[in-house]
A and B are shown apart, each in its own frame.
Chain A
Amino acid sequence: MDAEEMRLRSRHKRIKYGYIMGVFLALLWGLWYVPGSLMWVIDPFVSFYNNVSLTYGDTGGMILTAVLISAANALFATIVLFIWNIYMGKLHEIKRTVVEIKSVGKYLFAAAVCAGPMAVFGSYLATGFAGAAFSAVAALAFPLVTTILTTKFAGQRLSGRAITGIVMVVIGCMCIYMIGLLDELKSGNMRAMGYIGGLLAILGWGLEGLVIAKGMDVGDPDAGFHIKMFSEVFIWWIVVLPVLFIAGVPVFNYVGEFFTNPSTLLVLICSGFAFGFCTICYYKAYPMIGAGRAAGLSAMNAMVAVIVLFVLTGAVPAWTIVFGGILCTIGIITMVYEKEENLESIRGEQEVAE
């Protein structure tokens, strides 16, 4: 084998690695919905909901429970990432990266705000005030926003073929929820707050894609996701929860049970593993195949979630999943079998500096 052949093989390996990370991202995100949904039916979250819904009503109670769940999830995911980075020997690189606030740190902190309070909170608002199907469809639209933003503001280039693939995967995944969405629209129960929530979710995750792309240009992915998750923990545990506690919501009365109730601890550990490793795959896929393709593949989490919940709980998905599945598969094939020259650089051909 000559050097050129070896170079092409190495490029092929890099692109394959990027796509594998994208697929694992969708798989782990989808699997995360199992502990993610379980948290709503176990203590201390159920007793917290019962307690706060007496004072703040059903929707208020649901949103406050969502905050507590998001905070618990972020904490356990960060613990998992901490163990990962000790093993990978990246603690020094994290220290070097976190102090460079103006070049990298600010992007990672912005990613935490966009992904945590903005997108997660938005998607729960959408669920509470509009409906679960609406919320899911809104969340699934984010890869399109990421693609537009990273093309416009991070200079990333995508071929027509890649864009077609991304759009097909996103529409395919949205198909799963089409019947539910039509029912919700017909019911006339959707309120303005739900639409605002949907918009927050789309923009939150979309913007997160842009800031990660900017941050990962000059930051190490392992250090990057760790700082982002740590910032999320900071936002939930140092800002949001104490503010709620001072406002009279008894959030901290339930935290002890995270560690003392074995079934809660198990669910939180599973959630931390799924979410933590999902974040790892997300940040690793970005520099390899670009933000648009990575975000597009991540939309498949909806497909995985529906299948996993069907296997575990017998929740039969709507027939539209078949149509959506076919569209997704064609979309992925369109994306993956793109000319590899297009992926030599995610910003197209570059000039050598003088």
Chain B
Amino acid sequence: MMEGRPIKFRLLELFSEGEKWNYEVIKQLQSEYKDFKGDYKGNVINFNIIEIATAGFIIQRESKIDTDNVYREGSLLMKYSISTLGVEQLERLKKNLYKRRK
């Protein structure tokens, strides 16, 4: 539903599907959004994840250091779950979406 919408909309939707690691979400978004390719844009997506976590929409559950080079060796990997507040925000967003032309 949120594919191709602003990046934080899609992030909330992905986290609402269940607990996810940041690198999984980054890779998923990079495959969907053509303008978010590359390392730098990967960091931008990670920054957006940090912003919605700070806003209280997702909660950090686990963290580990990337030793298997799944994202970037030596970097911090974080697992997040959506919060009750995040679910409410996502529902509000879904009700107010711009209707795309078919």
Residues of A within 8 A of B (CB): 1-4, 6-7, 10, 14, 89, 92-93, 96-97, 99-104, 155, 216-221, 223, 287-288, 343-348, 350-353
Contacts and interface: CB of A to CB of B under 8 A. Distances in A.
Nearest to A343: B54
Contacts of B89: 217-218
Contact of B53 (A2, A92, A345): A345
8 contacts: A6-B76, A89-B41, A100-B98, A287-B51, A288-B54, A343-B54, A347-B85, A353-B83
A220 B96 contact: no
B33 to A, nearest CB: 8
A96 B4 contact: yes
Contacts of B33: 92
Given A6-B63, A7-B63, A220-B48, A96 B5 contact: yes
A353 B56 contact: no
A100 B83 contact: no
A216 B8 CA distance: 10
A100 B56 contact: no
Nearest to A157: B56
Contacts of A104: 6
A219 B6 contact: yes
Contacts of B78: 7
Given A3-B63, A347-B85, A350-B85, A93 B76 contact: no
A97 to B, nearest CB: 5
Nearest to B82: A353
B6 A97 contact: yes
Nearest to A88: B44
Contact of A217 (B57, B61, B87): B57
B48 to A, nearest CB: 7
B8 A218 contact: yes
Interface string B68-93: 00000000101001111111010011
A96 B29 CA distance: 14
B14 interface: no
Contacts of A352: 59, 61, 81-84
Contacts of B54: 14, 287-288, 343-346
A209 to B, nearest CB: 15
A220 B55 contact: no
Nearest to A348: B56
Given A3-B65, A14-B54, A346-B54, A93 B6 contact: yes
Given A89-B35, A346-B56, A347-B85, 9 more contacts: A3-B64, A4-B63, A96-B5, A96-B7, A103-B96, A218-B9, A220-B48, A350-B83, A353-B86
Given A3-B65, A4-B63, A7-B63, A218 B85 contact: no
A141 to B, nearest CB: 26
Nearest to A288: B54
Given A97-B6, A220-B6, A353-B87, A102 B35 contact: no
